[in-house]
Structure 1
Amino acid sequence: MSTLLRVNDVHIAYGKVEAVRGVSLDVAANEIVTIIGANGAGKTTLLNAIMGILPLKGGVSFAGNDLARLEIEDRVAAGLSLVPEHRELFAAMSVEDNLRLGAFRIGNALAAQSLERVFTLFPRLKERRRQLAGTLSGGEQQMLAMGRALMGAPKLLMLDEPSLGLAPIIVADIFRTVSELRASGVSVLLVEQNAQAALQIADRAYVMELGEFVLQGAAKDVASNARVAESYLGVG
């Protein structure tokens, strides 16, 4: 299985405060990898640095290419995409217009194919394609944020807390869709406080505490770890 994303000994600081220390991870093609941990552990900081939003020290490569000199737009063009925690939709624009913004780097024919693919994944978005994004429910907005990121046909989708603030039935829909993405050839790096849901669909997992990975391995093994069960799964 080929490695798609490789993060090697990464350090990220806010001024003199080091938020992430010596972190290394990899994501293979057709794999779901999750990073679980408490709020403030450094998970979002790491995703933002991989995307190029924050500076970092260390190595990050994607599909064998060093990302150090690539701007955010070039990382997107290479097949890397991030769905941020707060979704960052354009509330006064329609669902379809928000989606089309995600396809700004591909031609019209490919954009049309991507749009149909997103509508197949999220039929509710097709029903609401003319509706303003700001009038959607929280779950629909999360679907729209994911759909917009998928419009550019990414190889790796990074999801930051996709279940945040959503009802359990909607969370189940979102995570089912994440599993479908892997089946369609899109790898996923999932940051999630809902450890139980994340570990159920992930292939591998990293546990992050205070800016460092304290445990990693197959998701089923991490889920059965006594410390993880007690701290993150409410068992014990």
Structure 2
Amino acid sequence: MSTLLSVEDAHVSYGKVEAVRSVSLEVGDNEIVTIIGANGAGKTTLLSAIMGVLPLKGRVAFAGENLARLEIEDRVALGLSLVPEHRELFASMNVEDNLELGAFRMSKARTAAGFEHVYMLFPRLKERRKQLAGTLSGGEQQMLAMGRALMGAPKLLMLDEPSLGLAPIIVAGIFEIIAKLRQDGVSVLLVEQNAKAALQVADRAYVMELGEFVLNGKASEIATDQRVAASYLGFAESAAAG
């Protein structure tokens, strides 16, 4: 499996406060990688820095390109896309117009194919295509945020807390879509507080605490680690051990 995204010795600071330090990770082609950890661990900060929203010290390479001097728009053109935690939709625009904004670099033919693909993944969006984004339910807004990112035909989709505030049945549907993206040839870097769901869908996982990775490996192995089970999966260590 070839490496799509490579982050080496990343440091990200807010003023004098170092929020991410000495972080390295990789995401391969057709791979789902998750980063789990508590609130404030630095997960969102790391995704923002990879996207170019925040300055990063270290090296980030994507699709063979060093991202150091590339603006956000150029990173998107390479095939890197981020769905932020707060979705950042245009509430006064309808679903279809929000989606079309995600395809601003695409030809008419590619845009049409994008709509077809997104509506296949999210039939609810097709039903709501003329509805204002601000009137959608939380789950529908998450679908729209993901759909808008997919309109740009990304090679790697970074998702920041896609299950936040959603009902369990909606969360299950979102994670089914995440698994399907891999089948469609899209890699995923997933930041998620619902560690159990994330570890079930991911190939590999990194555990982040206080700005650093303290553990990484196959998701199936991370899920059975006693400390991870006690801290993030809601199991007591004795239960995990048994």
Instruction: Tell me the residue number matched to 2:239.
Output: none
Deviations 1:130-154 (A, max 9, x none): 0000000000000000000000000
SS at 1:104 equivalent: coil
Residue 205 of structure 1: CA displacement? 0.1
Residue 60 of structure 1: CA displacement? 0.1
Instruction: Tell me the residue number matched to 1:91.
Output: 91
Provide TM-score, normalisation by structure 1.
Answer: 1.00
Distance in 1 between residues matched to 2:155 and 2:65, nearest whole Å? 14
Residue 160 of structure 1: CA displacement? 0.1
Instruction: Tell me the residue number matched to 2:37.
Output: 37
Q: Which amino acid aligns with 2:151?
A: M
SS at 1:93 equivalent: coil
Instruction: Tell me the residue number matched to 2:167.
Output: 167
Q: Structure 2: which 5+ residue stretches go unaligned?
A: 237-242
Report the RMSD for the aligned CA atoms in angstroms.
0.3
Residue 18 of structure 1: CA displacement? 0.3
Deviations 1:190-220 (A, max 9, x none): 0000000000000000000000000000000
Instruction: Tell me the residue number matched to 2:184.
Output: 184
Q: Which amino acid aligns with 1:166?
A: L
Residue correspondence of structure 1 range 65-144 to structure 2 within 5 A = 65-144=65-144
Instruction: Tell me the residue number matched to 1:204.
Output: 204
The number of equivalent residue pairs is 236
Q: Which amino acid aligns with 1:207?
A: V
Instruction: Tell me the residue number matched to 2:26.
Output: 26
SS at 1:112 equivalent: helix
Instruction: Tell me the residue number matched to 2:50.
Output: 50
SS at 1:224 equivalent: coil
Distance in 1 between residues matched to 2:174 and 2:185, nearest whole Å? 17
Segments of 4+ moved more than 6 angstroms: none
SS at 1:81 equivalent: strand
Residue 63 of structure 1: CA displacement? 0.7
Distance in 1 between residues matched to 2:106 and 2:187, nearest whole Å? 20
Residue 100 of structure 1: CA displacement? 0.1
User: Among the aligned pairs, what percent are the same residue?
Assistant: 78
